[in-house]
Amino acid sequence: MRDAWLYPYVPALAATLADDLAELGYSARARPLEGEPLAGLAGEGPADADRAGGGVASPGANGSGSRGNSGWRPPALVLVTLDARAIAVANERCARLRAVEELAEVPLLLASDENALRAGNTLPDGDELLVAPWSVDELRARVERANQRLGLADEGDVVRLGTLELNLATYQVTIDARPVDFTYMEYELLRFLITHPNRVFSREALLNRVWGYDFYGGTRTVDVHVRRVRAKLGNEHATHLLTVRSVGYRFER
Amino acid sequence: MPDRPADLDTSYVLRTVTERGVRFVRLWFVDVLGTLKSFSLPTSELEQALEEGVSIDGSSLEGSVRLRERDVIAVPDPRTFQLLPWRRQAPVARMFCDMRLPEGTPFAGDSRQALRNVLAQASALGYTLQVGTELEFFLFAPLSDDGALPVPLDRGAYFDLTPRDEGSDFRRETIEHLEQMGIPVTASHHEVGPSQHEIQLQYTDALSMADAVSTFKLAVKEVAHEQGAYASFMPKPLEDQSGSGMHVHLSLFEGERNLFHAPGDEPLSEAGRRFLAGVLTHAREITAVTNPWVNSYKRLGGGFEAPEHVSWTRHGRSALVRVPSARPNRQSAARIEVRSPDTGSNPYLAFALLLAAGLRGIERGYELGPEVEDEAPADAPLLPADLREATAAFEASELAREALGERLCEWVAANQRREWRDYQRTVTEFERRRYLPIL
């Protein structure tokens, strides 16, 4: 079962969600509402939260700032429940969740009651909004839409960008229908960035996410690969792969 | 959200092979001498090979000295999968292999594994090594069998038959192939000697660079062959011309910080100076690996700015290690350039030993001696004068044994001893020319 993090600011809504999620094949994990040290930086994970909130993944954040040891696995889905009373804390929570790089590709859903929608209220930044009462079908549809919006298309989908085509099922990249020979790591880097568009990833984060943990190469490897991917993409498409000075890289779609 | 399966790289390979109509995959590995070995696998066998590896005769890793037969398992590394750009009609791909024992543990005679081990030690200290290389080689007319001197392409018979920019066409073609294979080139130019070329490979992590150097040598030979020429990495093919080396640029990173970078005018930080002191202190011990052929020492002792002494410099021309001047605004550029290695060496073992020597300098706080300008002082230690001396220093090296392990060290030494013995038994042209008339 895939994990879904659930922030039960409104216990009644959270209980309904947990049942619905189970029906969709998610295992809902209640997250602590206070004191969760969800840092806004890659490399630091919500390790303490695991103890409090119950087993999302193996803790092991060591905060050394070096890559490859944050030790927790992002969930497949994050849900924040809110009502008029909880709207401020929910806002703050969502802002902090948004700042966690590991959660960048995880859809964030808001589950709200009607009261929270009153004029003058600022709803948190979420990918989809559920308003009670909802059905399991609506939940499923919202999750799918959020995934689509994040570019997390299902395997088998083809990402098209002008004349550039990336086939996620066959791992082939074509430009003007001509195959481009990417190496595996070049392909993986491009795939990752193109399916997580418009977000900045640090070199450390890319090393973690694309290269994995048993790589001894160091962050400059990322620069080298980006240069190569750009060269193979050619002028037209290379301009989408942006360097964000002193931060990292972003793919613009 | 689709979870990426752990063996994504394997499915990438299997799918690409189908999509691109690849019928054979070459599995590559290097023996202890750095010679690239290859065996061809039909695509139908590929999935099983990726899962279980392929059993091969382990003595094929031992170089020219076959000590004993032992089955080892070659496990292809899917991340090194590449289509070979010089096989345009029928697509052929390659993968580098890691060698394992049938029990599944890494095989101690595998050069790639040896480099990985040292990289893991560095990684445990928080360091990553970045390596750039300058690779020199000659282009000759196809060799004749009668032992005649090789003919450089720039002059002599072939000059008339080829357009004037033959060399630059050649380099362009080579560079295109390399880039397609994920090996970025920073520069290329005609070298000092006739038909001598240099291609610089962009810095990258050490294992990728060692794979790149192995690939480079094959790519250069393939392109030369296509163009009716012969490319050679022999360290000193012509007595009166400069030899061919592999200058190795090294820098050590901690995260995104270059440990060698010093603020201000200093060319190297304290860690950088200690690393350099390590390389210099152990230079004599590792020369048998960086310069593994009898002929290597004709280059080192033969002038043309090849290093002969153990020394370092910023502005001099023939020191063993050159330290580029400080560039305060470009911390990533701080590095040392080791000028002794041959392109004909085993890059995995050479990088492993250079790193091990440098790390030891840091760990034990070696002090860096003074810089030399142009002339090395009379008391500067010399690099080994020949392969025998180098082998003796290597065999006595505790650093080498620790870094490479007993088995690889014994293989290196056995090959060198045999090479030296064969050489010693050879009556050379020099002797006949010199002694026949007078004795």
What's the pLDDT score for residue A57? 35
Phi, psi of B211 (to 5 degrees): -60, -40
Task: Say yes or no to pLDDT of B135 above 80.
Answer: yes
For residues B109 and B61, is the Cβ–Cβ distance under 8 A?
A: yes
Q: What pLDDT score does A45 carry?
A: 40
The pLDDT value given to residue A81: 93
Say if strands A172-175 and A164-167 run parallel, antiparallel, or are unpaired.
Answer: antiparallel
CB-based contact B416:B288 (threshold 8 Å): yes
Cα gap B437→B145, rounded to integer Å? 28
Confidence of residue B57 (pLDDT cuts 50, 70, 90): confident
Residue with tokens 């820098």, as numbered in its chain: B251
Mutate to test the interface with B, among A2, A150, A171, A232 (most CBs of B within 10 A): A171
Q: Give the model's pLDDT for residue A152.
A: 54
Query: Token pair 């072939």 is at which residue?
Result: B158
A112, A121 in Cβ contact below 8 A?
Answer: no
* pLDDT in the model for residue B378: 72
Asked if A216 and B128 come within 8 Å (Cβ–Cβ), the reply is yes
| Residue A47, H or E segment | helix A47-53
Question: Does ipTM come in above 0.85?
Answer: no
Give the distance, in angstroms, between the CA of residue B177 and the centroid of all CA atoms in the same chain.
Answer: 19
pLDDT reading at A47 higher than 60: no
Written as six digits, the tokens of B339 are 């000028």
* Structure-block tokens of residue B44: 């139908």
Angle at which helices B387-395 and B406-424 cross, to 10°: 160
Token pair of B242 as six digits: 């400069």
AA identity, residue A135: S
Torsion of CA B341, B327, B204, B36, to 10 degrees: -20
B184 and chain A in contact, CB less than 8 A: yes
CA distance B365 to B301: 31
Give the minimum alpha-carbon distance from B3 to chain A in angstroms, rounded to a whole number: 9
- pLDDT-wise least confident of B173-187, B202-216, B338-352: B173-187
Contact state of B205 with A219 under an 8 Å Cβ cutoff:
no
Residues of A in contact with B19 (CB under 8 A): 170-172, 179
| Identity of the highest mean pLDDT range in A120-124, B199-203, B340-344 | B340-344
What is the structure's pLDDT at B399?
97
Tell me the pLDDT tens digit for each residue of B84-106. Answer: 887 667 788 999 999 998 888 88
In terms of Cα–Cα distance, which of A36, A42, A87 is closest to A63? A42
As given in the structure block, the two tokens for residue B349 are 């073992």
Return the pLDDT at B224. 86
Longest dimension (CA), chain A: 56
Whole-model pTM above 0.80? no
Which pLDDT value is given to residue B396?
Answer: 96
pLDDT at residue A24 greater than cutoff 80:
yes
Q: pLDDT confidence of B241, banded at 50, 70, 90?
A: confident
Question: Which of B94, B98, B132 lies closest to B116 in space, CA to CA?
Answer: B98
Residue B183: its pLDDT value, please?
Answer: 83
Q: How far apart are CA B301 and CA B19, in angstroms?
A: 52
Sorted by sequence, the CB contacts under 8 Å of residue B222 that are 6+ apart come out as B86, B177
Testing the interface with A: which of B15, B186, B256, B258 to mutate, by most A Cβ within 10 A? B256
A240/chain B closest Cα distance in angstroms: 20
Contact B233, B346 (CB under 8 A): no
DSSP structural state of residue A76: S
| Separation of alpha carbons B352 and B21, rounded Å | 37
Q: pLDDT higher for B326 or B410?
A: B410
CA B120 – CA A90 distance, rounded (Å)? 44
| pLDDT for position B149 | 73
The overall average pLDDT reported for chain B is 86
Whose tokens are 């360290």? That residue is: B235
